[in-house]
Amino acid sequence: MSNINQKEKQIKYVTDLIYPDIIKTWHSGDVIIISAPCGRGKSFFIKNFLYDFAKANDKKILMLLHRVNCITQFQKEIEKDSKTDFIDICSYQKIEKTILHNKSFDWTKYQFIVCDEFHYFLDDAAFNITTDLSLQEIMKQTNAIKIFTSATGENVKEYIQELYEVSPITYKLDSDYSFINSITYFNKQDTIEEFLKEAIEKKQKAIFFILRLKKFTER
């Protein structure tokens, strides 16, 4: 299966790259990888385009997340939009606990399994020795389309390809830093204060990386 690496400037969001006619070409058992920087519409695609497709075709989506705050936020959003009819939310950790307790999880009702921030499988392995359990269980679900999304999942993509001998369909949006006009380094507090004043006066957007925020919040 071919990889899709779109670099044209007009392609800014995931929904510019993946639309309903593309979703129609996916089949049960396919592994889809969506690689895109933060803010480029990965979650929007799931909650809107994929949801609409699933609803129109009477299919269900299981959304897997790795952090409590992400689960809470996503749950509130789909409840607000009345989309809990075709989207269920679960944590990777719940899947892992189910396996450890020799209990079964009902995968059969889901035709789409979305693994959000799938770099979790390697990144969290440093302190969670069960991340491989959820990945193994997900990869066993050959009757579902498995969608992996992340901004930093390249290593996990290679890991999945080699370990499970699959050829994922990849959709990639490269990072765009063209909006950054300049990068400046400094080591004096007075200097950062001058840059802050200048940005405010000129109404410019700026981001400052500093070692100790306390110095400025206390003043």
pLDDT in the model for residue 205: 74
Domain layout of the chain by residue ranges: 4-173, 180-219
Q: How far apart are CA 45 and CA 150, in angstroms?
A: 13
Q: Residue 91 class from Cβ within 10 Å (0-12 exposed, 13-18 middle, 19+ buried)?
A: middle
Per-residue pLDDT tens digits for 148-167: 999 988 899 999 999 999 99
What integer is the mean pLDDT of 75-104?
A: 96
Q: What share of the chain is helix, strand, coil (3-state, %, to 5)?
A: 40, 15, 45
Q: Which residues contact 98 (CB under 8 A, 6 or more apart)?
A: 104, 105
Domain 4-173 sits in CATH 3.30.70.3270: no
Percentage of residues in the chain with pLDDT exceeding 90? 69
The two structure tokens encoding residue 38: 């933060």
Alpha-carbon 123 to chain mean position: 14
The helix or strand, by DSSP H or E, that contains position 216, with its residue range, turns out to be helix 214-217
pLDDT in the model for residue 1: 46
pTM, whole model, 2 decimals?
A: 0.78
